[in-house]
Structure 1
Amino acid sequence: MGSAEVPGAGNGWPQLRVDDWIQTRDTVHMWTQIVGKIRMALTPMLNHWWHVTLYVTPRGLSTSKIPYGGGAFDIEFDFCDHQLHVRASDGTTRSVVLEPKSVAAFHAEVFETLARLGIQAPIRAVPNEVEPAIPFADDHQHASYDPRAIRTFWQQLLQADRVLNEFRSHFRGKASPVHLFWGSMDLAYARFSGRAAPTHPGGVPNCADWVMVEGYSHELSSCGFWPGVGEEGAFYAYTYPEPPGYAQYVSEADGVVYRQSDRLYLLPYENVRSAPDPDSKLLRFLHSTYEAAAETGRWDRAGLEVDRDGWRR
């Protein structure tokens, strides 16, 4: 499918209503959890769970390199040809077709494919951060795959990833990559103040509290794109811990809202997509919500931020 066939993609920011692909989204969400757990099982642990995430590629989503024995392999969702590729460093490759099939069938095919490559990856085969948490091998409920919708979603991720990486370049302190967390299926980026944070209370469905404690062990300002809210998904931003005044800092004039129930700012995706300059609109949201965290949280902005004009000179 060419980009001309994607609704609203004239400026590179395609339109995709959540209600039009929710069944495909929920199925692929479970598929990404299976693949992400394989990476988690075989990759050395990194702080804040950065070793478990997926990354946007020119064709879809990838685990990046996973060490195995004396070599390595990777797994990539190819949303152009609709294949899941497993590629090993010895030159062998196997693929699983991405098409309407149950989570149970996908789970079985992926592990059969790994076995043919001589790869063993024991995982806890139950999803996280969802309710109910149906074991992958028993999940015949989620079985949708709309190739057009999933390719459009990937193109949304391409745009979001590009702008988030531009935003990332303004910060010299400790910061995460731009990566997709498969627990909640959001593309995320976080900046850190350098100070330890109070213990996170946990409480996320089907996710041990100690997982959240590690993820939020240090003060952060986080942002990203989440396809699970609103008409077409939304960009979000929050800080942990949230200082007094943070929720009132950013103006709601641009369509930005602060959702008290989740303690985060939201900017609807459609507001960005339909803007005369989508990149600038999104960057204003990212910079302003970070400023809210840094100012109300008393971050060392002079020591953490990049002088971009100085670099240009």
Structure 2
Amino acid sequence: MTDVAAGSGWPALRVDDWEPTRRSLHMWTQIVGKVRLAHAPMVNHWWQVPLYVSPRGLSTSAIPVGTGSFDVEFDFVDHVLSVRVSDGGADTIDLRDVSVAQLHAALLDSLGALGIDTSISKGPNEVEPAIPFVDDNHAGYEPEAAQLFWRQLIQADRVMGQFRARFVGKVSPVHFFWGSFDMACTRFSGRPAPPHPGGAPNCGDWVMEEGYSHELSSCGFWPGGGAEGAFYSYAYPEPDGFADAAGCPEGAFYDNGFRQYLLPYEVARQAADPDALVLDFLEFSYGAAADLMGWDRRALETDPQRWAHKSRLS
């Protein structure tokens, strides 16, 4: 594990070096995500359930409750889970030396004490085995590892946000899905897609059918692939020829098992210009999918600097 000073760039974090913390965070984010799912109104593609990178860690953003709102945030600076309510109520749970079962109980108790009655499903999704939260005694949290993970997410969120800004069609926020434990941003052509076959462990096929209801090109960062995680990009439905598209950036490749393009995080981190390499990878993989699927790219894409000359004069 390699430490870095705050703000110094792309940190190194080998997946094998932080597995206990990674497993804790995966289960904890599922618990917090399910709290958001229990209260937020349905949005297409499940966009009401992800978490978001914040200046302190990962946040639900505001969740409606009654005539007010609340949020839940993993604070990887002070290493607490914070609950804040619009009526002024607040609570924190220390993340150190807490098992999955203990955090599950503490969060639901905290919400109840703050007047937010909450019921969530008993176990995690998209993992096997799916141990019920109340029975999961796994404990493992290294503050240093959590901070390095969060700094990885800051970089991914920042660069993927630049990529998102180049699209004026239907596009998701850059958000963190707790089921698959990855950051994602998805562009859509506007056309419906064939029903997704599903198959994710401990996750109803109808969940995937909603998520993939329309033709898409999706990219993201998964802190579990490769030595230090990986950026990824795929298309649904995948067009013929996608795996063999010309122009793949050096260091990236198509993985036949995952059926997506991958750029190992360590390749990006060690590049002379990590931002440029990741953006090249995202543009290449999206462009290959969009061209092969016949998207109207002139109508869907834009220059995020299109008003810069005006703002300089104002």
Shift of 1:307: 3.5
For 2:250, the equivalent position in structure 1 comes to 254
- Over 3 Å counting, the alpha-carbon distance change for 1:57 and 1:310 in structure 2 is closer
For 1:82, the equivalent position in structure 2 comes to 79
- In structure 1, how many angstroms separate the alpha carbons of the residues matched to 2:153 and 2:266? 14
For 1:145, the equivalent position in structure 2 comes to 141
Shift of 1:262: 1.4
**What are the within-5 Å matches in structure 2 for residues 1-313 of structure 1?**
6-7=3-4, 11-140=8-137, 142-252=138-248, 254-308=250-304, 310-313=306-309
- In structure 1, how many angstroms separate the alpha carbons of the residues matched to 2:54 and 2:154? 8
Structure 1 stretch displaced more, 9-18 or 155-164: 9-18
Q: 1:235-273 deviations in whole A, cap 9, x for unaligned? A: 000000000111111445511111111110000000111
Secondary structure class of the residue paired with 1:190: strand
- Structure 1 consecutive aligned stretches of length 4 or more whose deviation exceeds 6 Å: none
- Are the counterparts in 1 of residues 182 and 223 from structure 2 also a CA contact under 8 Å? yes
Alignment-mate amino acid for residue 246 of structure 1: F
- In structure 2, how many angstroms separate the alpha carbons of the residues matched to 1:245 and 1:71? 50
- In structure 2, how many angstroms separate the alpha carbons of the residues matched to 1:98 and 1:269? 27
- In structure 2, how many angstroms separate the alpha carbons of the residues matched to 1:40 and 1:235? 26
Q: Normalization by structure 2: what TM-score?
A: 0.95
Q: 1:14-52 deviations in whole A, cap 9, x for unaligned? A: 000000001110111000000000000100000000000
Structure 2 gap ranges (5+): 310-314
Alignment-mate amino acid for residue 87 of structure 2: D
- In structure 1, how many angstroms separate the alpha carbons of the residues matched to 2:298 and 2:17? 45
Q: Normalization by structure 1: what TM-score?
A: 0.96
Q: 1:163-188 deviations in whole A, cap 9, x for unaligned? A: 00000110000000000000011010
Secondary structure class of the residue paired with 1:272: helix
- Are the counterparts in 2 of residues 250 and 289 from structure 1 also a CA contact under 8 Å? no
Give the % identical residues.
Answer: 60
- Over 3 Å counting, the alpha-carbon distance change for 1:254 and 1:99 in structure 2 is same
- Are the counterparts in 2 of residues 53 and 182 from structure 1 also a CA contact under 8 Å? yes
CA RMSD of aligned residues (A): 1.4
Structure 1 gap ranges (5+): none
Q: 1:186-208 deviations in whole A, cap 9, x for unaligned? A: 01000000000001000000000
- In structure 2, how many angstroms separate the alpha carbons of the residues matched to 1:296 and 1:207? 30
